[in-house]
Chain A
Amino acid sequence: MAEQPAIEPMHQFLIHKIWDGPVFQLGGLTVDMSITNSVASMIAGAVILVLFFAMTAKGQIVPNRAQALAEGLYNIVDRVLVTPIIGPAGKPYIPYLFTLFMVILVLNLMGVVLAIGNLGGLSLTFTVTSQLAVTATLAVLTFFSVFFLGFIKHGPKFLGLFAPGGMPLPLLIFMVPIEMISYFVRPVTLAMRLFGNMLGGHVVISLFGSFVVALGLVALSGGLASLAIVPSVLSFGMIVGLTGLELVVAILQAFVFTALATVYLNEVVNFGHGH
């Protein structure tokens, strides 16, 4: 019987160094400037974003293809999210939300579209958003900018967010801690959602990829075992279907992250109205 390749669905998420950079001490912290596969993917994503910006920077009245795409993406953030949820007061925050949307979208899509190179265990590409460190950075950045914006705009009155109006005092003793917990768990859920979605989908695709190889090798041994080619081909069909599903998930998660950031921002911008 042929040697079975090891089934390692988590292997694609390992970070390894591509280029050894200088390592130095900075204020008691060890800083490693090496280029890992994660950093390389982030640089590739940044290059794509800058190229996209350069292509669409010169606005024309009759848009070309790149500009039409950019305007469509901008409309998702502006007309689908910010204007209906926040209203006209949300206009100043569109640049941040649009940047968030584009960064997550590009990094997610790079992970899905180029992930086909990972099926053979080559580990050519890397889904940056499947690292909790990256999604937590985005989530914490978003959450605390919104939180401090609330204090800058409304001062100490903003703490009234944790005490819903018209509540009797005995209930308030229980409500305030519950409200605070549900408020401060937000960055955790934001980070977990993106991380879990990207990780889970890629693990499943990778598992079916290893089924194709393992069952195909069983089928090669001949005789009755060659029937194993049927589940092998079916698994390959599953990879195709799941990759399509992952494309939807990649776009949807970028949308959902931005939508939740918009909802959190709405509480700050429209604080005191409509509560």
Chain B
Amino acid sequence: MEAEAAKLIGAGLATSGMIGAGIGLGSLFGNYLQAAIRNPSAAASQQTMLFLGMALTETMGLFSFVVSLIILFG
């Protein structure tokens, strides 16, 4: 296999780390929504924590994005 082709395949494979971030974000927002429907009066007070959790979960996906960028252009 040529090095250039392997590089492209590797960059594509590196983005599969986003699967985990996707599952994480889904479970995060799903659970938030479930809790918010059960107790709507407490929902607004937890929104900041929701976005914080979102940011921390999303970072893992962004790491794989950056790794694939490094493979592509580095």
A residues contacting B by CB (< 8 A) are 10, 80-81, 84-85, 189, 192-193, 195-197, 199-200, 252, 255-256, 259-260, 263
Complex interface: chain B residues within 8 A of A192 (CB): 59, 62-63, 66
| A255–B47 alpha-carbon span in the complex (Å) | 12
Complex interface: chain B residues within 8 A of A255 (CB): 51
B48–A196 contact, CB under 8 A? Answer: no
| A195–B56 alpha-carbon span in the complex (Å) | 14
B residues contacting A by CB (< 8 A) are 45, 48, 51-52, 54-56, 58-59, 62-63, 65-66, 69, 73
A81–B48 contact, CB under 8 A? Answer: yes
Complex interface: chain A residues within 8 A of B69 (CB): 199
A259–B52 contact, CB under 8 A? Answer: yes
A193–B58 contact, CB under 8 A? Answer: yes
| A13–B54 alpha-carbon span in the complex (Å) | 26
| A84–B47 alpha-carbon span in the complex (Å) | 12
B59–A193 contact, CB under 8 A? Answer: yes
A197–B48 contact, CB under 8 A? Answer: no
Residue pairs across A and B with CB atoms within 8 Å: the count is 38
| A8–B60 alpha-carbon span in the complex (Å) | 26
Given the known interface contacts A81-B48, A84-B48, the answer about A256 and B54 at a Cβ–Cβ threshold of 8 Å is: yes
B52–A263 contact, CB under 8 A? Answer: yes
B67, chain A: closest CB distance, angstroms: 10
B66–A256 contact, CB under 8 A? Answer: no
B51, chain A: closest CB distance, angstroms: 6
| A256–B65 alpha-carbon span in the complex (Å) | 19
| A229–B35 alpha-carbon span in the complex (Å) | 45
B70, chain A: closest CB distance, angstroms: 11
B65–A196 contact, CB under 8 A? Answer: yes
A259–B48 contact, CB under 8 A? Answer: yes
| A207–B13 alpha-carbon span in the complex (Å) | 20
Of chain A, the residue at the smallest CB distance from B45 is A84
| A189–B55 alpha-carbon span in the complex (Å) | 10
Complex interface: chain B residues within 8 A of A256 (CB): 51-52, 54-55
Of chain B, the residue at the smallest CB distance from A185 is B59
Complex interface: chain A residues within 8 A of B65 (CB): 196, 200
A17, chain B: closest CB distance, angstroms: 21
A84, chain B: closest CB distance, angstroms: 7
B66–A260 contact, CB under 8 A? Answer: no
Of chain A, the residue at the smallest CB distance from B69 is A199
Given the known interface contacts A192-B63, A196-B65, A196-B66, the answer about A252 and B58 at a Cβ–Cβ threshold of 8 Å is: no
B51–A197 contact, CB under 8 A? Answer: no
| A263–B66 alpha-carbon span in the complex (Å) | 25
Of chain A, the residue at the smallest CB distance from B72 is A10
| A197–B56 alpha-carbon span in the complex (Å) | 13
| A84–B46 alpha-carbon span in the complex (Å) | 11
Of chain A, the residue at the smallest CB distance from B65 is A196
| A268–B58 alpha-carbon span in the complex (Å) | 25
B60, chain A: closest CB distance, angstroms: 9
Given the known interface contacts A192-B62, A196-B62, the answer about A252 and B52 at a Cβ–Cβ threshold of 8 Å is: no
